[in-house]
Amino acid sequence: NGHKPLPPSQQPQNQPSSPQEAHHLGSLHHHPLGSSPLVPLPSLFAPSPTKRHSLVLLLLFHLHRHHHHFHLLLLPRYTSFTLLSFVSRCHDFDLFVCGFCDCAAGVAELKKRLSRPRCNYSDGQWVRHSGEPRYSGTSCKTIKDGQNCMAHGRPDTGYLHWRWQPKQCTVPAFDPAAFLRLIENRHLAFVGDSMARNQLESLLCLLATAEEPDLVYRDGEDNKFRRWLFRGRNATVSVLWSPFLVKGVEKSEATGQYHNNLYLESVNERWASELDGMDVVVFSVGHWYLHPAFYHENGVVLGCHHCPEFNHTEIGFFDVFRKALNTTLREVSRRHDSSPGTSEKLVVVTTFSPAHFEGEWDKAGACPKKEPYKEGEKEMQYMDAEMRKIEVEEVAAATEREGGKGLRFEALDVTKMALMRPDGHPGPYMHPNPFANGVQERMQNDCVHWCLPGPIDSWNEILLDMMRRWKGESK
């Protein structure tokens, strides 16, 4: 590395005079298998990398002859760093490994990396990508029919060949093996509405390229509560339906209830009761707040949204959404603090994903775009921007309240990258072969959720980087 050895006057005086002495020093300690063999060799000083390598190879030869355990050989301290030379044996494959580790420089580099400003993944553009998707509509078994655009006959494939490029950095390619290592012996849960499910299914497809998961639990209408196990890593991934996060009763035509009812003072216990067993929680809600609803707090009806036929105060959903998110994040903190011995927890809020309806939802051509928007081509609507702003601000407030308590809050800010992808929705291909009998007068379109594979896969690339940073900084 360009570092000069110590001058002769400062070199250790008890250097080995011969390879035989070096062998003797390397053979001082015999360790039973399973202990922590550490053989310090402060007197071994090689003035050049070539001689140092030769010495280690010589010791490797003697270890091969006389030892059957792992050994570490410590070289002396230099002026600006300490080199650690090691020789080890892997008994599973009968292999020997030798090398050099710059310990001090490695720690310094780690500190340097962790102190760098974080990349702003939310600001960038979609650029063409020639690579193929990591999975397909036939190779992944967990894609919901409504998002399986390829299998449903979507003829264009250009939407598959784009990648998100932030202005100041690069999103690392998704590494399924690395993701599974991060959640080994842990539980990752997606909690929210159908966008949470959409992101979960994207992640399952990406991870399944490394290991197929087993569905170990399902419950609820349309399997809204499911859990998978990656047995190779004892890693659990689950999804829990909760479109408001707070306690709520959903509207239902079957029961004649056409308004949602939200109870803003308490969270939905269906997911919150499992919180202690979750190591990473990804919340994703928003679209259900746009629907007509009554708002309750402490037994009192505060008002409602879009209810002109009732004698209640009309309340905008922005303040309600903020209050519900605030209630949720505070309750996560309270339960974490009140559970002694609770492991570190990462709480991620995926920001609002805009819809792209450009026509009637039940007419052909509702979301007809075939390519992403270019920078400046599409302005974010006020509603989309405000929903995102509330989420980012509430995550920041939670971070300020709870910093240093083993609880980390992050905003997975995908609003702009989602806005720029009008081409990534199923549209009419939420149903199989929608044009088999020609263009119908009425044709249902999905311009909210995302095709799989599709743009939403990039969200999980960023999630992986978040989790890497979380684990690295916690260590």
DSSP string covering 348-400:
EEEPP------S-TTSTTSS---SPPPTTTSPPPHHHHHHHHHHHHHHHHHHH
354 vs 415: CA distance, rounded Å: 7
Residue 73 has pLDDT above 80, yes or no: no
The pLDDT score that the predictor gives to residue 405 is 78
Residue 217 has pLDDT above 50, yes or no: yes
Query: Do residues 320 and 235 share a domain?
Result: yes
Give 321-335 pLDDT, tens digit per residue. Answer: 999 999 999 999 999
Query: Do residues 138 and 224 share a domain?
Result: yes
Query: Do residues 299 and 260 share a domain?
Result: yes
The backbone region for 315, taken as left when phi is positive above 0, alpha when psi lies in -120 to 50, beta otherwise, is beta
Residue 169 has pLDDT above 70, yes or no: yes
Pairing between β-strand 260-267 and β-strand 162-166 as defined by DSSP bridges: unpaired
Percent of all residues in the chain with a pLDDT value above 70, rounded to a whole number: 74
DSSP string covering 133-167:
PSS-TTT-S---GGG-TTTTT----GGGSEEEEES
Half-sphere exposure of 23 (CA within 13 A, CB side): 11
- Residue 44, amino acid: L
CATH of the domain at 130: 3.40.50.1110
81 vs 102: CA distance, rounded Å: 7
Mean pLDDT: which of 1-5, 28-32, 407-411 is highest?
407-411
Mean pLDDT: which of 21-25, 139-143, 374-378, 457-461 is highest?
457-461
Q: Is position 2 within any domain?
A: no
For residue 360, what pLDDT band results from cuts at 50, 70 and 90? Answer: confident
Give 77-116 pLDDT, tens digit per residue. Answer: 433 333 444 444 444 444 545 555 555 555 566 566 556 6
Q: Is position 399 within any domain?
A: yes
Catalytic residues: 194, 446, 449
Torsion of CA 149, 285, 414, 281, to 10 degrees: -100
The domain boundary, picked from 111, 142, 169, lies at 111
The domain boundary, picked from 85, 111, 137, lies at 111
402 vs 333: CA distance, rounded Å: 7
Query: Do residues 58 and 151 share a domain?
Result: no
Both structure tokens of 225: 């509560």
Query: Do residues 87 and 155 share a domain?
Result: no
Q: Which residue has 């909760």 as its token pair? A: 242
186 vs 274: CA distance, rounded Å: 13
286 vs 322: CA distance, rounded Å: 10
243 vs 193: CA distance, rounded Å: 4
Query: Do residues 64 and 143 share a domain?
Result: no
340 vs 353: CA distance, rounded Å: 36
Query: Do residues 104 and 82 share a domain?
Result: yes
Query: Do residues 373 and 453 share a domain?
Result: yes
Residue 207 has pLDDT above 60, yes or no: yes
Both structure tokens of 243: 């479109």
Q: What global pTM score does this model have? A: 0.77
Instruction: Judge contact between 285 and 244, C-beta under 8 A.
Output: yes
Q: Is position 116 within any domain?
A: no
Reduced to 3 states (helix: H, G, I; strand: E, B; else coil), residue 188 is strand
Q: Is position 15 within any domain?
A: yes
The domain boundary, picked from 68, 84, 111, lies at 111
Instruction: Judge contact between 218 and 226, C-beta under 8 A.
Output: yes
The pLDDT score that the predictor gives to residue 238 is 98
Lowest-pLDDT choice from 35-39, 77-81, 215-219 = 77-81
Both structure tokens of 237: 């991934």
Q: Provide the residue range defining the domain that includes 381.
A: 123-474
Lowest-pLDDT choice from 70-79, 266-275, 347-356, 380-389 = 70-79
Both structure tokens of 197: 């499910």
C-alpha separations of 116 from 112, 119, 157, 409, 470 in Å: 6, 9, 38, 19, 14
Query: Do residues 75 and 209 share a domain?
Result: no
The pLDDT score that the predictor gives to residue 69 is 43
Instruction: Judge contact between 90 and 97, C-beta under 8 A.
Output: yes
Q: What are the backbone angles phi and psi of residue 412, rounded to the nearest 5°? A: -85, 90
Q: Residues near 459 by Cβ (< 8 Å), separated by ≥ 6?
A: 199, 202, 350, 412, 414, 417
Query: Do residues 188 and 84 share a domain?
Result: no
Query: Do residues 49 and 186 share a domain?
Result: no
- Residue 295, amino acid: Y
Structural domains in the chain (count): 2
472 vs 468: CA distance, rounded Å: 6
Percent of all residues in the chain with a pLDDT value above 90, rounded to a whole number: 59
CA R_g for the chain:
29
Give 264-293 pLDDT, tens digit per residue. Answer: 999 999 999 999 999 999 999 999 999 999
Q: Is position 117 within any domain?
A: no
The pLDDT score that the predictor gives to residue 277 is 95
Q: Is position 258 within any domain?
A: yes
Number of helical (H) and strand (E) elements in the chain, helices listed first: 10, 17
Residue 12 has pLDDT above 60, yes or no: no
Both structure tokens of 82: 């300490």
Residue 379 has pLDDT above 50, yes or no: yes
For residue 22, what pLDDT band results from cuts at 50, 70 and 90? Answer: very low
Question: Average pLDDT of 344-359?
Answer: 95
The pLDDT score that the predictor gives to residue 365 is 78
Mean pLDDT of the chain: 82
- Residue 97, amino acid: V
Give 420-471 pLDDT, tens digit per residue. Answer: 999 999 999 999 999 888 877 778 999 999 999 999 999 999 999 999 998 8
DSSP 5: P
DSSP 190: E
Residue 30 has pLDDT above 70, yes or no: no
Residue 27 has pLDDT above 60, yes or no: no
Instruction: Judge contact between 58 and 26, C-beta under 8 A.
Output: no
Query: Do residues 316 and 393 share a domain?
Result: yes
